[in-house]
Amino acid sequence: MVLYYLRHSQTNKVWQYINLSKKKDNLLKLKLLSRPILRDVLPMAILIIKLDLNQLTVYNQLYAKYKDDLRVHQKQK
């Protein structure tokens, strides 16, 4: 199995990005994602019913992006 990864890592040229001497404690940490809130769309909004159709569309797009990013984030853990 190790040979498989070595062969593919050499053909995909990823070794230039790998530093095996780096300690695990010094690796970058994933940032926690923040869920979009209504105030991202309308500063004074408390209830979703306060948003008009365009603002609701923007909020739904932000939420969909958040969900996509969250899926990627959970895969990387």
Whether residue 43 lies inside any domain: the answer is yes
Who has greater pLDDT, 74 or 40? Answer: 40
In a domain, 48, yes or no: yes
pLDDT greater than 90 at residue 15 = no
- Alpha-carbon distance of 26 to 24, in angstroms, equals 5
More confident residue, 34 or 11: 34
27 within domain boundaries: no
Task: Look at residue 5 and tell me if it is in a domain.
Answer: no
Q: Give the distance from CA 13 to its chain's centroid.
A: 24
pTM of this structure = 0.61
Which amino acid is residue 69, in one-letter code? Answer: D
* DSSP 8-state assignment for residue 66: H
Q: Does the residue 10 lie in any domain?
A: no
What is the extent of the structural domain holding 77? 32-77
The domain total for the chain is: 1
Residue 76 located in a structural domain: yes
